[in-house]
Structure 1
Amino acid sequence: MKKLIILLVAISMFSCKAKQESQQFQAVENSTITANEVKETVAFLASDDQMGRGTGSEGIDVSATYIEKKLQAFGIKPYYETYRDPFKVQEMDAYNVVGFLEGNDPKLKNEIIIIGAHYDHIGTKAKMVEGDSIANGANDNAAGTSSVLAMARYFGAKKTNKRSLMFVLFSAEEMGLLGSKHLANRLKVENANLYTVVNMEMIGVPFKDRDYVAFVTGYGKSNMAEKINDYVGSKFLGESEIAKQYNLFKASDNYPFYEVFKMPSHTISSCDLSNYDFYHHVHDEIEQLDYEHMANLINQLIPGIENMSNTATQEIILNNE
């Protein structure tokens, strides 16, 4: 009887291990980002339940918990003791969510690439539009958040990165880039060895009249766009004259890192306010976005990030302007 019990336990353990290995294999095999995957994230974050994810609100707390659970499921560890990097906004508690995937090269793993997006939005509007006061923030920036989580899933499964990857979801961007300012200064004090920052913002709608998929803010400040295009083998990234006119380089969470670290730090976006009518509007809703476009954009970007993380020398550098 005792031998039978031992045999059954052994079979059970083997079965569990085989199931776990099968799930890990499937996670690696199913590495292509899908429209349904990004839509699931946007649908949660931009639902009416989250009430526009205003800083200090219950909706942003619920959103942060959702992001933490996703990172944990993807095998992305907290960078600090927990995923939350706390700071104060006036009297309100705010927190970035910061995950970390160590690189697999003994030397290059000391260099960190930040892949980020802000997950907060503006909450509710004082003036109702057609009976609606919730600024859901689907494109701005549940869309960008979904791309960071999708890339976290990909790299968490593949583990092909020689440099370390830090996945950051910033808060209080809408209040003046406060989350990224806080983290940039904290990482500077901690002597973090940052390689570059790739920030994702408003990727929910495509351009109709461009020869590129997305643009890079501050295009000429470094060779990032040129290098990513080389890495992916196409003109994936370009320069938006409209973004240049509005100085969008200084308008998102890439900018504090550029200021503090004096290094290449850019935002990638497919919306420069010319191709979307609902910026900071209650109609920035889930159904307005093109999820096939989003999935295609992320799938095209991933080889760029992968190559960026694996080059033997530092190839992403500032330009002399």
Structure 2
Amino acid sequence: MKKALLLSLLSLGCITLSCAQSKSSKPYKVEEQNVAATLKFLASDELKGRQPGTPEMDKAAQYLEGILKKNNIKPYFATYKDTLKNYPKTAYNIVGVLEGTDPELKKEFIVIGAHYDHIGMAKQAVNGDDIYNGADDNATGSTTVAELVNYYGHSRSNKRSILFCFFSAEEAGLLGSYHLAKKLKEQGFNIYTMLNFEMTGVPLGGDNLAFITGYGRSNMADKFNEYAGKKIIGSNEFEMKYQLFRQSDNYPFFQEFNVPSHTLSTTEMSTFPFYHKLDDEFEAMDTKHMTAFIQQMIPVVDKMVNAKTQEIVLKK
């Protein structure tokens, strides 16, 4: 009787464990309503164009801090706020860190970032509108990073450590990322690579899901396509013509550390009519596209974060 009871309990335990494993192995799903909620707040009139050094920009910073806190992502410095030393007003990068799970790989850092500032208010209203909401530029990139925070807060699956960065004062000349990259370099920061997101709010069109800036400088695009099992990342003529590699927050990290540092974007800027225009608003964004883009990027980023060796390297 006891033996039968023991076997029954063991069997029940196995079933329970099997159910738990099955539940935990369920693929993570990015929810469009969460994407839309973050994007809508960051691009709202309430934030008045997210000009650094304003009370409205402080609200955006607090919102992003809240996402890090909710996911138990710790501040990298004493607080989440990294105060810029190269901007005339008080402005902050928001920086959180998730330590890796591997005793050796956790010593290497992946930097994942996006700028959350924009250009503020217009001097003269057009049809009653004087707020540069900056939905695509770059509330969408910040939303993308926020969703990666949500994913890693849920999965804790990162063998390498991840530094999540929301940069300020990008529109003033990449000042937030220049400040942080220099600061980290002086502290002996061990960076593997830097991945930045900029303008991910509308579909690119064509054969690729997104384009990468500085396509030929490293093998990141090739490795991402390999990780995805199909070609999702390519080059872009507009990007190459206007050297967008130098125009976003990836560039200071490349300059300081000389490691693969790139920006991913899904916006074809030669056809997108709202860049730095008053009409760059939430309603012009495609949250279904954004959700699908983030969903496809999660396993790609995860493979980069967890690769046993440094697979992404500069091209000679």
Q: Which residue does the alignment assign to 1:239? A: 235
What TM-score does the superposition give when structure 2 sets the normalisation length? Answer: 0.91
Task: Specify the SS of the correspondent of 1:145.
Answer: helix
Q: Which residue does the alignment assign to 2:98? A: 101
Q: Which amino acid aligns with 2:103?
A: P
Which residue of 51, 58, 61 maps to 1:61? 58
Q: Which residue does the alignment assign to 1:163? A: 160
CA distance in 1, matches of 2:27, 2:216: 36
Task: Specify the SS of the correspondent of 2:38.
Answer: helix
CA distance in 2, matches of 1:26, 1:312: 26
Which residue of 250, 259, 272 maps to 1:276? 272
Cα deviation digits, residues 57-81 of structure 1 (max 9, x gap): 1111000000001110012111111
Cα deviation digits, residues 116-141 of structure 1 (max 9, x gap): 00000000111321111100000000
Sort the Cα spacing of 1:70 and 1:28 in 2 relative to 1 into closer, same or farther, 3 A. Answer: farther
Structure 1 position 255, deviation (Å):
0.3
What TM-score does the superposition give when structure 1 sets the normalisation length? Answer: 0.89
Cα deviation digits, residues 177-223 of structure 1 (max 9, x gap): 00000000000001000000000000000023x21010000000000
CA distance in 2, matches of 1:55, 1:275: 28
Q: How does 1:31-180 map to 2 (within 5 A)?
A: 31-180=28-177
Structure 1 position 275, deviation (Å):
3.4
**Match status 1:258 vs 2:220:** no
Asked if 2 retains the 8 angstrom alpha-carbon contact of 1:215 and 1:270, the reply is yes
CA distance in 2, matches of 1:159, 1:224: 23
Which stretch shifts more, 85-94 or 287-296? 85-94
What is the percentage of aligned positions where both structures have the same residue?
Answer: 48
Q: Which residue does the alignment assign to 1:194? A: 191
Sort the Cα spacing of 1:285 and 1:34 in 2 relative to 1 into closer, same or farther, 3 A. Answer: same
CA distance in 2, matches of 1:168, 1:265: 14
Q: Which residue does the alignment assign to 1:16? A: none
Report the number of matched residues. Answer: 295
Cα RMSD, aligned residues only: 1.5
Sort the Cα spacing of 1:50 and 1:219 in 2 relative to 1 into closer, same or farther, 3 A. Answer: same
Asked if 1 retains the 8 angstrom alpha-carbon contact of 2:85 and 2:179, the reply is no
Asked if 2 retains the 8 angstrom alpha-carbon contact of 1:28 and 1:158, the reply is no
Which residue of 180, 184, 188 maps to 2:181? 184
CA distance in 2, matches of 1:142, 1:61: 15
Which residue of 198, 203, 206 maps to 2:200? 203
CA distance in 1, matches of 2:239, 2:188: 32
Sort the Cα spacing of 1:88 and 1:297 in 2 relative to 1 into closer, same or farther, 3 A. Answer: same
Asked if 1 retains the 8 angstrom alpha-carbon contact of 2:87 and 2:175, the reply is no
Which stretch shifts more, 28-37 or 67-76? 28-37
CA distance in 2, matches of 1:261, 1:122: 29
Structure 1: which 5+ runs fail to align? 1-24
Q: Which amino acid aligns with 2:186?
A: V
Structure 1 position 88, deviation (Å):
3.5
